[in-house]
């Protein structure tokens, strides 16, 4: 985890470059909300007490479909090792699962295949 922002009771923000310095102030009563940038798979909506930005990602993908602003999309795959054991699959299956989620969100269907 990195790039942490804490909102204080007075509305001001305190920025931390990484999680360890932020955790030093975890018990500071003036901090009322914490946000941290970290990479998580798209196919999971929440992680117990933590929530992903899946809803916002879906909104951006809808915008891409209706008013394209990019000719490509990128799916980051370097955080698979930190998944909880029950969510881990072999890397190829993990990437397929993630890409399937994106394709579903984009409402992209598989091309028809013929069997001879």
72 and 102 part of one domain: yes
Q: Hey, which residues does 14 pair with through a beta bridge? A: 6
2 and 58 part of one domain: no
Domain range enclosing 90: 41-108
53 and 84 part of one domain: yes
Show Cβ contacts of residue 90 under 8 Å, excluding neighbours closer than 6 positions.
none
Distances in Å between the Cα of 70 and the Cα atoms of 39, 58, 93 are 21, 15, 26
Question: What pTM was computed for the model?
Answer: 0.64
Question: How would you write the pLDDT of the chain (116 residues) with one tens digit per residue?
Answer: 468 999 999 999 999 988 889 989 989 999 999 988 777 778 888 877 777 888 888 999 999 889 989 888 887 766 677 777 888 888 888 888 888 998 898 887 665 444 44
30 and 78 part of one domain: no
Please, are residues 38 and 19 in contact by the beta-carbon 8 Å criterion?
no
User: For residue 116, is it within any domain?
Assistant: no
User: For residue 114, is it within any domain?
Assistant: no
51 and 94 part of one domain: yes
Domain count along the chain? 2
Helix H or strand E segment including 5: strand 2-8
């Amino acid at each position: 985890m990195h790039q942490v922002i804490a909102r204080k009771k007075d509305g001001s923000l305190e920025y931390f470059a990484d999680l360890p310095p932020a955790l030093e102030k975890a018990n500071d009563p003036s901090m009322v909300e914490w946000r941290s940038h970290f990479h998580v798979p798209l196919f999971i909506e929440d992680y117990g007490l933590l929530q992903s930005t899946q809803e916002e990602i879906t909104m951006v993908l809808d915008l891409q479909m209706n008013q394209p602003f990019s000719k490509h999309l990128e799916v980051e795959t370097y955080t698979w090792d930190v998944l909880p054991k029950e969510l881990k699959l072999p890397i190829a299956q993990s990437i397929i699962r993630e890409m399937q989620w994106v394709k579903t969100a984009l409402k992209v269907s598989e091309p028809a295949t013929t069997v001879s």
